[in-house]
Amino acid sequence: MNHSIYNRRSIRKYLDKNVPKEKIEQILDAARVAPSAKNRQPWKYIVFGGEHKAEFLEKMENGIMREERQKAFLPNSKQGIPDAKNTLRIMKEAPILIVVLNENGTTPFAQINADDRITEICDTLSIGASIENMLLKADEIGLGTLWIANTCFAYEELTTYLGTTKQLVGAIALGYADESPAQRPRKKLEEIVEYRGVYE
């Protein structure tokens, strides 16, 4: 049994300690072997640290402030801005940031047809499997992670900074944990599982 499945936690406090490149590559290699729809392997990962990470996060902060004070691309999600600001603080503390792209996707603000939407859903599921592999491998080798979607509040700023038209899915903060949080509540099996035609 892979105990990382049960031991993994979302880490929001990190030590000021460098992460060896070898460990980052182990995590990325785990991501690479995840299952993907039609074996499209749509993922791409960009690893940031140091000044480059600071530049990326400056663009993210600009986007959050724009979303809050000027033109909001996600006006119905404004209640999430305080959380996005806190996430930004965490990202600044973590020594490494891994940005996640869908190489087959484009901006979520564009209208697409149903066929392309299904493909996008399948590729997003594939990327989710790849990210989960990363989180579990990180836990296995003694590192902490936080899976981040709050990049959505600065989508245009960040994709412009990255120089890409590919879909920005999110990011993962990575480093040595400076906390040991308890597991958050989970639903019971009987709340989420329904049997039909088996074990009746």
Q: pLDDT at residue 1 above 70?
A: no
Residue 197 falls inside a structural domain: no
**Among 52-56, 70-74, 160-164, 173-177, whose mean pLDDT is lowest?**
70-74
- Over residues 119-136, mean pLDDT: 98
Report how many domains make up the chain: 1
Question: Is 198 within a domain?
Answer: no
- Residue 200 counted as domain residue: no
Beta strands in the chain, from DSSP E residues, in sequence order? 43-48, 96-102, 144-148, 167-175
Query: Is 199 contained in some domain?
Result: no
- Mean pLDDT of the 12-28 span: 97
3 state DSSP class of 38: helix
In a domain, 115, yes or no: yes
Residue 95's pLDDT is: 98
64-81 pLDDT per residue, tens: 999 999 889 999 999 999
Q: pTM of the entire structure?
A: 0.94
**How many CB atoms are closer than 10 A to CB 158?**
21
Taking 90 as the threshold, does the pLDDT of residue 112 lie above it?
A: yes
Residue 123 lies in a domain: yes
The parent domain of residue 86 ranges over: 4-192
User: What CATH number is given to the structural domain containing 169?
Assistant: 3.40.109.10
